[in-house]
Structure 1
Amino acid sequence: MVGVSCALALQKRGFTVTLIDRREPGSETSYGNAGVISRSSIVPLNNPSLWQSLPAYLRNDHAAIRYRLGHLLRNPGWILRFLAEARPSRLAPRIAALDSLTSHALPMHKQWMAEAGVSQRLRETGWLKLWRSEAGPEKAKAEQLWFEDHSVRSEPLDRQALSGLEPDLNPIFTAGLWHKDSASVDWPQAVVAAYAAMFAARGGRIVQAVVAGLSATPSGWKADTEAGPFNAAIAVIAFGPWSADFLKPLGLDVPLNVERGYHRHYRAEDGRKLGRPLHDVEASYMLAPMERGYRLTSGVELAHRDAPSNHAQIDQVLPSAREAFALGEQVETTTWRGARPTLPDSLPMIGEAPRKPGLWLAFGNQHIGFSTGPVTGEILAALVTGETPPADPAPFSPRRYLK
């Protein structure tokens, strides 16, 4: 999503753009999300409440977060920086930065989806955060007031209101919070593919090839690929969790790690339906209606990007999801795995690389890359052309980590 968005935003400003990807656009990290275009995703995972949950997470049996000890031991710097960002003093500026991105997410997607002819994939029904515990109503109300202070619309729901909104949801939840300023799509990959097709229809070039490396030239940058070399005045690195691999040989050591996640699709029993994605807080999963069934997504796994899969988390949440909604048989026999690219402060890196004129960076959007891809592209393209970006680019500057 981020790479295609950057290509579209630059093309709109008159650039001739070549988009190089080893797979079809939307087939990697952007494929496996809950499809939510989220206005309310403004609180980073590493916020002060993480400290309260840390003892439970350290047992390494929680559905929300699992880790591979060897991976953590090989990346102590990233872990320490990630935890340091959970200090209360670091929260407000990061919330403001994320808010500046998510406030543009839905309006930009609506415009682009209309232009790409895929508006039928958009559901403007929001998403639900659900609680099972007796403290649910109090928590829902507190969060609603907090979001109201940040100009994000939400509505607390009691058991009866939940049943009215989602009649096929089993009545096991004490409360919910309906995030009304958000939307969702029925197949994220199809939306990215539609944006890519729009880019190609407007004269953009898409090359499916493995990129072996990037090097500076007297006139700009050269990408060496299995399809041959490509030269350009500027280069944009938007390789998601693979971005750091291409920058390290250039002397740019980016503290990029990944939060892995898994999903499966299930059919609903007896014609049951959900009108929007839901997040079961205490059971630590999301369930989203998709074109090919109901997508069940797991929590975070801190492991090397390419380590073998571990299905423990998604296996753990499946019984809870079936308690909540009548899921039937699995649609596919495989379990999808992906890696969300995350920097220690949970903010993306958007801007020109230090000491590398013409090399631009756009990655690290963690869990909200699908939502914030278009605004990321617009910020980057505005910086390239000297325009005023739609959001303050300072919090996303590469110079906060690269010198």
Structure 2
Amino acid sequence: MTQARPGQKVVVLGAGMVGIACALSLQQRGMAVSVVDPLGPGAATSHGNAGVLARSSLLPFNHPGLWTQLPGLLRGKNPGFRYSPRWMLDQWRWGLSFLGHARSSVFLETTTALDALIRHSGDVHHRWMTEAGVAHRRRDDGWLFLYRSEATFEAAAAGRETLARFGVRTRSLDADALHALEPHLKPVFRRALWVQDASSVDSPAEVVRGYAAWLQTLGGTLRIDKAQRLTRDAPGWTVHTASGMALAAEHLVIALGPWSRDFLREQLDLRLPMGFERGQHRHFRPANGASLNRPVYDTAGGYVMAPMAQGLRLTTGVELNAQHAPPHREQLEAAERAAREAMPLGERTEEADWLGSRPTLPDCRPMIGACPGRDGLWLAVGHQHIGFSTGPGTGELLAQLMLGEPTAVDPHPFRPQRFLCG
């Protein structure tokens, strides 16, 4: 793979958190960067999340305990997990590979890799937010895992042990201590885990847009346009867009989130083993002056509720389904019912319900690095539901690999070669 040099042109496809982070990291190193996205920065997958930047996100869904949970999950007993049987049958290879990675050895490799990427991302986020003028959107008071019984708290002991092993600062709370932190939660929770190594923001989309505006002040270009066709030229790649533009560059970065799979298959016959963790959100006005100081995860209700600029954002758990399948509101309605048991929610806001897909590879790690057998093509895809927490670290790692710099994180666990051949 030919390394990049300062002054060369780079086209980044995708203006979510990951794409904008890649563009920023490259622009700051002297590359001439253009970002292409049909919707604009932070308008798609990066718009719909709980805005949490948490080291606790190092825990992948396919942990070794998944095997004992599987019968209940398949019976639909977990409010935070839904799936389409038709999609699972169609994507059985992805499903078997996902389950095959739920082993202790892979779990250790994944948690170690994700912890390093999340820690590095957190440092970069803090620096970038200040430089981009969006630091006022950040809170540094952690987030809460809520448990409705002592039994469910004890059942989560393995997760707490993993966090402790990686030095993630947490504090176990009883009902009184929880009430002191979040006095407007209803008294339905017996225990809580306060993850103190966490920040959150009041608008993930606005943070991405702030980064994109900063990118442009640094000389980067943002084009609201759709990449329709790629051609390989002697010096690099040309991106042909829906508006008729032809953008030539020595290097091309694919950071299209869930759209990466179909785009790479259609354009280059590259087949990513990618599944989709679909999720939804809805906003509410607080009732009777109630408020939250930080995001909370109701482990029994299967939802996260976070204070946002738009009000209280209620986000659902996971639905495994086709990316473009019609929305199923049952999971969102169930999350609302559970949330009303826990918080004085008022009316819904005028903002429409949101649905998005989080792209997940079988080992729950993103691909970051050079695409095998495609000189000048780089991948930053597959960040599942933690792209907001891992975006800046991804951008820095990709830029370091492209320019041959020492890397701040071990790139080996994220190498595209683990699923793609040259």
Pair 1:50-2:66 in alignment: yes
Residue in 1 that maps onto 2:350:
332
Shift of 1:379: 0.3
Residue in 2 that maps onto 1:215:
231
Counterpart selection for 1:279 from 288, 297, 310:
297
* Counterparts in 2 of 1:7 and 1:33: CA distance versus 1, 3 Å: same
Please state whether the residue corresponding to 2:67 is helix, strand or coil: helix
Kept in 2: contact 1:31–1:188 (CA 8 A):
yes
- How far apart, in 2, do the equivalents of 1:141 and 1:259 lie? 25
Pair 1:229-2:259 in alignment: no
* Counterparts in 2 of 1:19 and 1:333: CA distance versus 1, 3 Å: closer
- How far apart, in 2, do the equivalents of 1:98 and 1:86 lie? 15
Structure 2: gaps spanning 5 or more residues: 1-16
Pair 1:378-2:396 in alignment: yes
* Counterparts in 2 of 1:333 and 1:232: CA distance versus 1, 3 Å: closer
Amino acid at match of 1:239: L
- How far apart, in 2, do the equivalents of 1:144 and 1:108 lie? 26
Counterpart selection for 1:305 from 323, 344, 347:
323
Q: Structure 1 residues 183-192 or 132-141, which shifts more?
A: 132-141
- How far apart, in 2, do the equivalents of 1:59 and 1:137 lie? 22
* Counterparts in 2 of 1:185 and 1:368: CA distance versus 1, 3 Å: same
Shift of 1:145: 4.3
- How far apart, in 1, do the equivalents of 2:262 and 2:162 lie? 39
Pair 1:130-2:146 in alignment: yes
Residue in 2 that maps onto 1:155:
171
Shift of 1:88: 2.4
* Counterparts in 2 of 1:244 and 1:327: CA distance versus 1, 3 Å: same
- How far apart, in 1, do the equivalents of 2:166 and 2:361 lie? 24
- How far apart, in 2, do the equivalents of 1:397 and 1:89 lie? 18
Shift of 1:133: 1.4
Please state whether the residue corresponding to 2:385 is helix, strand or coil: helix
Structure 1: gaps spanning 5 or more residues: none
Amino acid at match of 1:291: A
* Counterparts in 2 of 1:9 and 1:367: CA distance versus 1, 3 Å: same
Cα shift readout 1:68-103 (whole Å, capped 9, x = no counterpart): 111111111101100111122321111111111111
Cα shift readout 1:106-149 (whole Å, capped 9, x = no counterpart): 22111000001111100001000010012255456664444222
Please state whether the residue corresponding to 2:56 is helix, strand or coil: coil
- How far apart, in 1, do the equivalents of 2:185 and 2:106 lie? 38
Please state whether the residue corresponding to 2:187 is helix, strand or coil: coil
* Counterparts in 2 of 1:145 and 1:344: CA distance versus 1, 3 Å: closer
- How far apart, in 1, do the equivalents of 2:173 and 2:35 lie? 45
Residue in 1 that maps onto 2:365:
347
Cα shift readout 1:178-226 (whole Å, capped 9, x = no counterpart): 0101000000000000000000111111000011022211110011102
| Match runs of 1:116-265 below 5 Å | 116-136=132-152, 138-139=154-155, 143-227=159-243, 228-248=245-265, 249-265=267-283
Kept in 2: contact 1:137–1:156 (CA 8 A):
no
| Match runs of 1:102-113 below 5 Å | 102-113=118-129
Residue in 1 that maps onto 2:413:
395
- How far apart, in 2, do the equivalents of 1:182 and 1:337 lie? 25
Number of residue pairs aligned between Structure 1 and Structure 2: 403
Amino acid at match of 1:87: R
Cα shift readout 1:352-384 (whole Å, capped 9, x = no counterpart): 001101000001111110011000000000000
Counterpart selection for 2:288 from 264, 270, 282:
270
Counterpart selection for 2:25 from 5, 9, 22:
9
* Counterparts in 2 of 1:58 and 1:199: CA distance versus 1, 3 Å: same
- How far apart, in 2, do the equivalents of 1:141 and 1:383 lie? 38
Amino acid at match of 1:358: G
Cα shift readout 1:148-188 (whole Å, capped 9, x = no counterpart): 22111000000110011111111111110101010000000
- How far apart, in 1, do the equivalents of 2:345 and 2:407 lie? 44
Query: TM-score of the superposition, structure 1-length normalised?
Result: 0.98
Amino acid at match of 2:26: L
- How far apart, in 1, do the equivalents of 2:36 and 2:92 lie? 33
Kept in 1: contact 2:283–2:351 (CA 8 A):
no
- How far apart, in 2, do the equivalents of 1:312 and 1:137 lie? 26
Kept in 2: contact 1:33–1:297 (CA 8 A):
yes
Kept in 2: contact 1:350–1:398 (CA 8 A):
yes
- How far apart, in 2, do the equivalents of 1:95 and 1:45 lie? 11
Kept in 2: contact 1:32–1:263 (CA 8 A):
yes
Shift of 1:332: 2.5
- How far apart, in 1, do the equivalents of 2:158 and 2:60 lie? 18
- How far apart, in 2, do the equivalents of 1:215 and 1:56 lie? 48
Kept in 2: contact 1:136–1:176 (CA 8 A):
no
- How far apart, in 2, do the equivalents of 1:53 and 1:330 lie? 34
* RMSD across aligned positions (CA): 1.3
- How far apart, in 2, do the equivalents of 1:141 and 1:87 lie? 18
Residue in 2 that maps onto 1:96:
112
